[in-house]
Structures are given as C-alpha cells and as structure tokens.
C-alpha cells in the first residue's frame, strides 16, 4: 500500500513515541489522546540505541511505548488527584494510572542538555467550577449569553455546565 502526502518523519526508525509522533497524530486527529495500558519502570531498555533506565507507558492504541520523564509523571499524578480524587500518595502509584486517558502535546520548547529539542508534554487537567442554577455566577453567565457577548462553548471553558444547566441557560427558563 502506498501512502502519499504524509509527514516525512512518520516512518523513521525509532523505538519509542517521540514529540514528532505526537505532532503527527495531533495533525491527523486534532488531539492526541491515549489510554494507558501499562505503566512500568525498567532498566536497560533500548531507547533509540541508548540503554535507558526509566519509567515507561504502554498505550491501548496502536502507538509505541513512551518514556515518561519526571515532569510528565508529576503531571499525570496531579491530573489523577484533580480528575479522580486520588490522594497524593495514590496518584503517584503508577499502578493506578492504568486505564487513564492522557492528552499528549508536542512542546517545541522542551530542552535537553541545554539544547532546545522539543518533546512530549502531558496536558494538565483543569478542574472547572460547577455552574449552579440560581447562583450569582449562573445569573451573570445567563446575562452574558443573552447579551450575545459569549457563546456556550466559551462558558464551558470556564465552568462545568451540565446538560440540564445548559438548557436553563439557553431557554432562559
């Protein structure tokens, strides 16, 4: 099968998921959201020709394993605290990461050994406040929507809006 108009780096020789792969997936699918199938520590793993000791993530999707650096490990743990209410201790147990979805982003500013090389960054989970009917925030948001200053999509970037609350906002009842 021939593939045309694809990223020149898509089929390069490599052993683990890299920033460029995340950029390619993001370009193809809009977002790079992967589900952790396994999280483990291993020694002497061949990472693009270098024997590496480190933490690794395996995904349910058809992508290579990823080396999980300390920044991304901290981010996954913090996301679990915010998203699933895990304690700080439990969130750091990599066994609890299995089944978790992570959104990966290509960050071209990441440095290694003093050089800007780019890399993978796990996106942080943003805990939004709930928009409760009858609250001052609800009334203010409703007014802003009615005034045409904002769209419901913009509101959803700042608040958790349930379907029922959205109907109340949009119907004005």
Partner 1 sequence: MENKIYRHRASQGGLLLTNGKDSLGLGVSMITYLKKWYAEQKSGVRDEIDSKYFRKGNMCEDEAIDICAERFGLGILEKNIVHFNDEHFQGTPDVITDEFVIDTKCSWDYVTFLDAITSPINKDYEAQLQVYMHLTGVKKAKLVYVLLDTPAEANYGNDIFYSHMPINERFYSFELEYDPSMIEQMQNKVNNCKIFLKDYDAKIKLLLG
**Given 37, 74, 92, 123, the residue binding partner 1 (CB under 8 A):** 74
Taking CA atoms, 63 is separated from 31, 70, 87, 118, in Å, by 14, 21, 30, 19
Binding flag, residue 71, partner 1 (CB under 8 A)? yes
Which region, judged by CB under 8 A, interacts with partner 1, from 22-30, 39-47, 69-77, 92-100?
69-77
Binding flag, residue 169, partner 1 (CB under 8 A)? no
Nearer to partner 1, 50 or 70 (CB): 70
Residue matched to tokens 């203010």: 140
Pattern 2-41, partner 1, x by CB under 8 A: ----------------------------------------
* Half-sphere exposure of residue 162: CA atoms within 13 angstroms, side-chain side: 6
Q: CA-to-CA distance for 71 and 116, rounded, in angstroms?
A: 16
Instruction: Provide CB contacts within 8 A for 12, sequence distance 6+.
Output: 20
Binding flag, residue 108, partner 1 (CB under 8 A)? no
Binding flag, residue 158, partner 1 (CB under 8 A)? yes
Cβ burial 50-66 (10 Å sphere, 16+ → b, else e): eebeebbbebeeebebb
Nearer to partner 1, 38 or 168 (CB): 168
Q: Which residues bind partner 1 (CB under 8 A)?
A: 71, 74-75, 78, 81-82, 88, 109-111, 121, 124, 127, 129, 135-141, 143-144, 150, 154-155, 158-159
């Amino acid at each position: 099968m021939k593939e045309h108009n694809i990223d020149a780096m898509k089929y390069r020789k490599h052993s683990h998921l890299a920033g460029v792969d995340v950029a390619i997936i993001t370009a193809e699918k809009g977002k790079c959201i992967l589900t952790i199938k396994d999280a483990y520590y291993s020694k002497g793993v061949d990472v693009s020709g270098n024997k590496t000791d480190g933490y690794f993530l395996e995904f349910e999707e058809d992508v290579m394993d990823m080396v999980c650096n300390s920044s991304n490990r901290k981010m996954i743990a913090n996301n679990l605290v915010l998203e699933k209410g895990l304690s700080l201790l439990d969130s750091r147990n990599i066994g609890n990461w299995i089944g978790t979805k992570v959104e990966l982003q290509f960050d071209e500013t990441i440095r290694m050994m003093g050089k800007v090389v780019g890399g993978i960054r796990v996106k942080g989970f943003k805990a939004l406040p709930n928009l409760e009917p009858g609250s001052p925030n609800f009334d203010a948001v409703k007014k802003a929507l009615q005034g045409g200053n904002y769209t419901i999509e913009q509101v959803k970037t700042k608040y958790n809006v349930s379907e029922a609350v959205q109907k109340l906002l949009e119907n004005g009842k």
